[in-house]
Amino acid sequence: MTGRDRDLIAGAAAALRPLLDDARTAALITHTTPDGDGIGAEICLYRYLKARGIESRVLNTEPLALRYRFLDPHHEVMVFDEARDAAFVREADLIFMLDNAATSRMGTLGPHVRASRATTVCIDHHNLTDPFWNITLVDEEACATGELVFQIVKALGGTLDHLAAQAAYVSLVTDTGSFRFSKTSSRCHEAAAEMLAIGVNPPHVYQEVFERNSPAILRIMGLAFAGLRIEEGGRLAWITLTHEQVVACDGEMEDTSDVVNELLTVDGVRMAVLLKGLRDGRTKLSFRSKGGLDVNRLAASFGGGGHNNAAGAVIDMPLPEAIAKVLDPCRALLHTTT
């Protein structure tokens, strides 16, 4: 870890220490459709807060996907229930938003977070900030929010147990694409080594996270890949999925975001795009890229966001219109990037 990294982590710990000393309750949330990084960061921080004696709740807008349920053996991660949880959120001493700064991505939690008396803290590694949060702790050089939480907990003097370290490791593995994306760094590998020393078992994590596919997702992948289009001299690969195709595969509840990652394995492809029609007539966009090709710019232009090499958005138009609207900016980005 560099001097800059140590200073940033120390500053984050110093900002949080007095808040934690005074807090009795805390709510931990992440963005809608929680991913491995958001969930891993939540559980890692939750384990630390619990050890400090702070009554905490991890509240998400959707249940944990099958691949992440092993991270929560005691069933402590909850789907937000207004009747049960609204008062807790509104009266909490602290609210932690993890892996997201956009208040637009809070879903049903949004009105209650905005109305809360809590001191709000955003911990993230994306380059988007929002003035809503009382304290914003962002490190764009961190490979995952879970890594940032892991380092902050250590700086606070916390002891991370196996479940906390395992959750943070899942953050690393999922947000670095198994340590292959551009933000993978020596700092990231150092953190992973520490997590393994605590007892994290990489083969077990891999099996749980990457070998829990349902028959439905494999059928969906087959349909999507059958319609693969390659353009721009082999540099652009894109696929589509209609809502009807997903339903026909019994996959309406499946997370299809990983399907697009496979397109980057095609020799020569630098940008991959999945356009997926949704039940309500909108279209979900998933962008992936290699190297310095910044697809976060693309996602931002459509009201979304993410990382330089992995980003997404949902646009208010049906799939056929979205295809015509989205692909030209993709081609333009490839033309302007060497």
Instruction: Give the structural domain span for 222.
Output: 216-336
Q: In whole angstroms, what is the distance from residue 103 CA to residue 106 CA?
A: 6
Whether 94 and 238 share a structural domain: no
Predicted pLDDT at 112: 98
Whether 53 and 178 share a structural domain: yes
Mean pLDDT (whole number) for 222-248: 96
Phi-psi region of 79 (alpha: psi -120 to 50; beta: other; left: phi over 0): beta
How many other C-beta atoms can be found within 10 angstroms of the C-beta atom of residue 140?
12
C-alpha dihedral (144, 116, 76, 15), degrees to nearest 10 = 40
Predicted pLDDT at 252: 80
109-166 residue pLDDT tens: 999 999 999 999 999 998 777 899 999 999 999 999 999 999 999 999 999 999 999 9
**Which candidate, 232, 244, 185, 175, places its Cα nearest to that of 35?**
175
Predicted pLDDT at 336: 85
Mean pLDDT (whole number) for 280-307: 91
For 63, 96, 194, 229, 256, the CA distances from 253, given in Å and listed in that order, are: 11, 27, 35, 25, 9
How many other C-beta atoms can be found within 10 angstroms of the C-beta atom of residue 117?
10
Q: How confident is the model at residue 309 (pLDDT cuts 50, 70, 90)?
A: confident
Whether 85 and 174 share a structural domain: yes
Mean pLDDT (whole number) for 275-284: 95
Cα radius of gyration (the chain)? 20
Mean pLDDT (whole number) for 206-227: 93
Phi and psi dihedrals of 231, rounded to 5? -135, 180
**DSSP readout, 139-190?**
-TTSS-HHHHHHHHHHHTTPPP-HHHHHHHHHHHHHHTTTTTSTT--HHHHH
Domain closes at, from 210, 241, 259: 210
Q: How confident is the model at residue 101 (pLDDT cuts 50, 70, 90)?
A: very high
9-39 residue pLDDT tens: 999 999 999 999 999 999 999 998 899 999 9
pLDDT at 338 over 80: no
**Which candidate, 216, 128, 207, 132, places its Cα nearest to that of 166?**
207
Least confident piece of the model among 3-12, 222-231, 248-257, 284-293 = 248-257
Domain count, the chain: 2
pLDDT at 304 over 90: no
Domain closes at, from 210, 229, 257: 210
Mean pLDDT (whole number) for 94-102: 96
Query: Of 89-103, 180-194, 301-315, where does the model show the most confidence?
Result: 89-103
Helix, strand, coil shares of the chain, percent, nearest 5, are 50, 20, 35
CATH assignment of the domain containing 326 = 3.10.310.30
